[in-house]
Amino acid sequence: MALLLYRIGRFSFRHAWQVLVSWLVVFAAALGLGLGLGGQMNESFEIPGSESQDALDRLAQVFPEVAGLSAQVVIETTDGSAIDTHRDELAQVASDISDLEHVTQALDPYSEYATGTLSDDGEAAIIQVQFDTDMMDKLGDDKQNVVDIAETLADDGLRVEFGGTLYQDITYGLTVTEAIGVAFAAIVLIVAFGSVLAAGLPLGSALMAVGVTMGVLLFVTRFVVVSNASPLLAVMIGIAVGIDYALFILSRHRNQLAKPRSTDEPSAGGVGVMGAA
């Protein structure tokens, strides 16, 4: 393995531009496949063997009607009048929501089985909605249909709001914070090495690796369920680890270049072996 890595290091040194162009092609191809042919990430996924997954599986077996996501439709009068005057309208909305594909139950707030669905002041009510799955990608249409049906109550002078696990914002996206972190890392590297080129090498290699990983990750979502937190974790961990290992290699290479030698090839090959170690 050490000999193989040494040969890879020397080969990369001798064919620097070809290797760089090859990585750029891989980078572009991976991102192109991921963005063009990738699927959709989902927060709901299974971890077989974990205690939480065993509990969820048991819940689905014993109480399948409550194993999926839930939602609450909160209705309130805007003029302080009693919500009871709109009882028929609420019952109709609950009935219409119950007819949606993945809805197992939409409980009328005035049902004999409903508890805690009417406010103490009599001005608000809650329609409890239960779904048969916890997969967000399957509930996209029903999620919007619940909103469309419930908002018809606005014609009766009622205010409608939505809550529950279905309407929670559980997406994790990249923000300006990550860009600030990369910029700060670049400043630290420039100060540490005293060279923009030396600082750019570990940062550039880390960003290249993260880009390829992100492309592959997005493409894989077409075939398997991937958590929507994965891209953020990939960027954070990938940049940190990528810079870390590249720093070891670059520091070793600079130290070796400071020693008299007839060619830089032995150093270029040797740092590859050190990086693997």
Say if residue 25's pLDDT is above 90: yes
Segment 54-66, tens digit of pLDDT:
666 666 565 555 5
* CA–CA distance, 27 with 69 (Å, rounded to integer): 38
Say if residue 262's pLDDT is above 60: no
What whole-number percentage of the chain has pLDDT above 70? Answer: 81
Burial class, 196, CB count within 10 angstroms (exposed 0-12 / middle 13-18 / buried 19+):
exposed
* Contact between residue 90 and residue 109 where contact means Cβ atoms under 8 Å apart: yes
Segment 116-143, tens digit of pLDDT:
888 888 889 999 988 877 777 677 788 8
